[in-house]
Amino acid sequence: MTMENQPHITVIGAGLAGCEAAWAAAQRGVKVTLIEMKPQRMTLAHHSALFAELVCSNSLKAKRLDSAAGLRKEEMRRLGSVCVPAALSCAVPAGGALAVDRDAFSAEVTRMVESCENITVHREQVEHIDESAPILVATGPLTDGVTYWEGSKIVTTPEEGHRAVLECIQGGYEYVKTYPSIPRDAFLEIMRTANELGIKVMGHGNYNVSFKELADLGYYSIEHISCLPDTKHEEDIIYLAESGMWSCPTVEVALTIENFVHQNGDLAKVPGFADMNPYWRNDWYKVTQWRKDKHRYDDYDFMEEIERERIFIKHSDRILLGTDVPNPGVTGGLSVYNELEHLVKYFGFTPYEALKCGTVNGAKSLGIEHKTGKLCEGMDADILVMTKNPLESVSNARSFVAVIKDGCYYDKAWCEDLLARVRNRTADEIIALM
């Protein structure tokens, strides 16, 4: 067969499916162009430029041939799989499961695919699909654009990191939030530029630097318990706490993961669900199903995450109140009451200490404690009027009868009427009402 008449296909995406497809075609004499966007473009979940990256778990499930998962892997092996032999060569002890050293596994698959004579690899982002030729799209749920919030800046190089910080400053921002998959050299440049120009960096940390480095670089605040080191590395948690870093645990998010992913809770029963915009209600279902389908939380341990924060709190009082709306199961306003109760229940805070996290500490973390965060003469303050004392029980905060905001008095009936008016409005309609 000549090169001219040799069959050819294009495969987009070098994850598990893409590598298997490219490998299978190549072993049957088909010329394959395999296109992978990493490292030019990364997603929030990816850590490296390697193929077949396992982003959430190192387990490929059971090895037993009398199990569906084990039988499938044996069938794949006999049919000439690239991933199964690589997994077997990188296996680590895991009882009856096939678990792998993630980095070694990805490196081995990458080596095998890149060395295959019939596979040509292109590291680039596909902007348009040529439907006139055979093409297989194997990009899965982490296709570029899916895991980034609208308005986020995608940073993969030091130059992009430097420019992103400058653009934030030019836009009038005082803080930069980062997600953990930013390449190391780009992240270091973000921190260098931010420190030099006096803008604070916070968010989800970074997979490509150690926690000690993160603290030494001046990372300002860690958002979510899950972004703290696990309890096996208690010394790292203590180091972060003693560095002066802030922590916003968002227990409500952790608990909803436990309730709705592990325990199959009903999202529709979440207080405030009916008051959420339909767009967000639909998004809750999509995100929760994605978490289930992709086994993102196979190893999730809610109480282990709680213990991380408990260790942090033993060494720091720099704790913030936050909920991370609109994560699935988290509702605007109402979830704040839940979070206050979580701070008391799981961390042993007094009602006063819990309330302080959302008032005094919030103002202090933002550097505006001289003008807000306390209810006293000369300070800016919005006021929640209640019939019961929240210092006796933090749950009493739910007894509000009115809100005083910017000097205007809004009673509970007005607030409920506002909810009724916006309940099923489109985003554009909601903006118009406000």
pLDDT of residue 1: 47
**For 9-19, b where at least 16 C-beta lie within 10 A, e where not — what string?**
bbbbbbbbbbb
Q: What is the domain partition of the chain in residue ranges?
A: 8-142, 158-372, 382-434
Q: What end-to-end distance do the CA atoms of the chain give, in Å?
A: 69
pLDDT confidence of residue 231 = 94
Residue 139 near residue 43 (C-beta atoms within 8 A): no
Q: What angle do CA 363, 364, 367 make, to 5 degrees?
A: 90
CA distances from 160 to 48, 196, 385 (A): 18, 16, 47
Predicted local distance difference test score (pLDDT) of residue 151: 65
Residue type, 176: V
Instruction: Return the amino acid letter for 386.
Output: M
The residue among 43, 39, 50, 53 whose CA lies nearest residue 100 is 53
Looking at the domain that runs over 8-142, which CATH code has it been given?
3.50.50.60
DSSP state of 56: S
Cβ pair 363, 369 in contact under 8 A: yes
CA 68 to chain centre: 31
What is the C-alpha to C-alpha distance for residues 434 and 419, in angstroms, rounded to an integer? 12
Q: Which residue has the tokens 């993961």?
A: 257
Q: How far apart are CA 192 and CA 189, in angstroms?
A: 5
Distance separating alpha carbons of residues 32 and 325, to the nearest angstrom: 44
CA distance 46 to 206: 11
Strand order in the sheet with 246-248: 175-178, 200-203, 221-223, 246-248
Whether the CB-CB separation of 227 and 247 falls below 8 Å is answered with: no
The pLDDT profile of the chain, 434 residues, written as one tens digit per residue, is 455 577 999 999 999 999 999 999 999 999 999 999 988 777 656 778 899 998 766 788 888 898 888 999 999 999 999 999 999 999 999 888 898 998 999 999 999 999 999 999 999 888 778 877 899 999 865 666 444 555 678 888 899 999 999 999 998 999 999 998 888 999 999 999 999 999 999 999 998 899 999 999 999 999 999 999 999 999 999 999 999 999 999 999 998 888 887 777 888 888 878 777 776 777 788 777 767 765 556 667 899 999 999 999 999 999 999 999 888 888 888 899 999 999 999 999 999 999 999 999 999 999 999 999 988 888 998 899 999 999 999 999 999 999 998 889 999 999 888 877 777 666 566 555 54
What per-residue confidence (pLDDT) applies to 146? 45
- The token duo for 428 is 């554009």
Domain 8-142 and domain 158-372 have a common topology: no
Q: What is the DSSP letter of 320?
A: -
Q: What is the pLDDT of residue 140?
A: 67
Phi, psi of 421 (to 5 degrees): -75, -30
Q: Are 247 and 318 in contact (CB under 8 A)?
A: yes
pLDDT, position 43:
67
- Beta-sheet strand order (sheet of 97-100): 59-62, 97-100, 91-92
How big is the CA angle at 243 (ends 240 and 249), to the nearest 5 degrees?
Answer: 45
In this structure, are residues 224 and 250 in contact, taking their beta carbons and an 8 Å threshold? yes
Fold of 158-372: TIM Barrel (3.20.20)
